[in-house]
A and B are shown apart, each in its own frame.
Chain A
Amino acid sequence: MMKVPGSNQTLMSAKTAGKDIRILYSPLDAIKIAEKQPEKQVIFLGVGFETTIPILSLLIREASFKGLDNFSLWMTTKLVEPILRHLLELGELQLDGFLLPGHVSIILGAESYSFLSDDYTVSGVITGFETAEMLSGIYKLISLAINGEAKILNDHKSIVSAQGNVAAQEMMDKYFTLCDEAWRGIGVIPASGLDFKDEYEKYNAKKRFNVEIGEPKKTKCRCGEVIRGLITPEGCKLFGKACKPLNPIGPCMVSAEGSCAAAYQYMRER
Chain B
Amino acid sequence: MMEKLISLAHGDGGEQSHRLISDMFLKRFGVEKAEMMDASIQSIPAGKIAITTDSFVIKPLFFQGGSIGKLAVSGTVNDLAVSGAVPLYLTCSLVIEEGFPMAELKKIVQDMADEALKARVKIICGDTKVVERGSADGVYINTTGIGACCEEYGNSLDFKEGDSVIVTGSIGDHGIAVLASRAELGINVPVESDCASLNHMLRKVYENSKGVRIARDPTRGGLATSLVEIAEDFTLEIVIKEELIPVKDQVHGMCDLVGFDPLYLANEGKAVLIVSERDEERIMSQLRAFPEGHEAAVIGKVTSTQRGRLLLETPLGARRYLSRLSGSMLPRIC
- Interface residues in B162-187 by Cβ distance below 8 A to A read 184-185
Given A245-B326, A270-B309, output 11 extra A-B contacts at Cβ < 8 Å.
A25-B184, A25-B185, A131-B315, A131-B316, A246-B326, A265-B321, A265-B323, A266-B320, A266-B321, A268-B321, A270-B307
A202 touches B (CB below 8 Å)? no
Complexed CA–CA distance, A255 and B258 (Å): 16
Q: Any chain B CB within 8 A of the CB of A206?
A: no
Within 8 A of B (CB), among A247-270: 265-266, 268, 270
CB of B156 closer than 8 Å to a CB of A: no
Q: Once the chains are docked, how many angstroms separate the CA of A25 from the CA of B316?
A: 32
Closest to A248 in B: B326
| Interface size grouping (class) on chain A | 10 to 19
In this assembly, does A61 line the interface, its C-beta being within 8 Å of a C-beta of chain B? no
Closest chain B CB from A172 CB (angstroms): 24
Residues in chain B within 8 A of chain A (CB atoms): 184-185, 258, 307-309, 314-316, 320-321, 323, 326-327
**Chain A nearest Cβ from B312, distance in angstroms:** 10
Q: Produce 1/0 per residue, A1-37, CB < 8 A to B.
A: 0010000000000000000000001000000000000
Closest A-chain residue to B258, C-beta based? A25
- When distances are taken between beta carbons in the complex, the residues of chain A under 8 Å from B185 are 25
| Cβ proximity bits A97-113 to B, threshold 8 Å, 1 near / 0 not | 00000000000000000
Pairs across A and B, CB under 8 Å, 20 listed: A3-B327, A25-B184, A25-B185, A25-B258, A131-B314, A131-B315, A131-B316, A132-B316, A135-B316, A245-B326, A246-B326, A265-B321, A265-B323, A266-B320, A266-B321, A268-B321, A270-B307, A270-B308, A270-B309, A270-B321
Chain A residues with Cβ under 8 A from B323's Cβ?
Answer: 265
Q: Complex: how many Å from CA A25 to CA B180?
A: 13
Q: Please, how many angstroms separate the alpha-carbon atoms of A3 and B326 in the complex?
A: 11
Contacts of B315 in A (CB 8 A): 131
In the assembled complex, the Cα of A89 lies from the Cα of B326 at a distance in Å of: 37
Collect the chain A residues with CB atoms within 8 Å of residue B308's CB.
270
For A131, list chain B residues within 8 Å (CB). Answer: 314-316
CB of B314, distance to nearest CB on chain A (Å): 7
When distances are taken between beta carbons in the complex, the residues of chain A under 8 Å from B184 are 25
A residues near B326, Cβ cutoff 8 Å: 245-246
A270 contacts across to B, CB distance below 8 A: 307-309, 321
Measured CB to CB, the nearest residue on chain A to B318 is A131
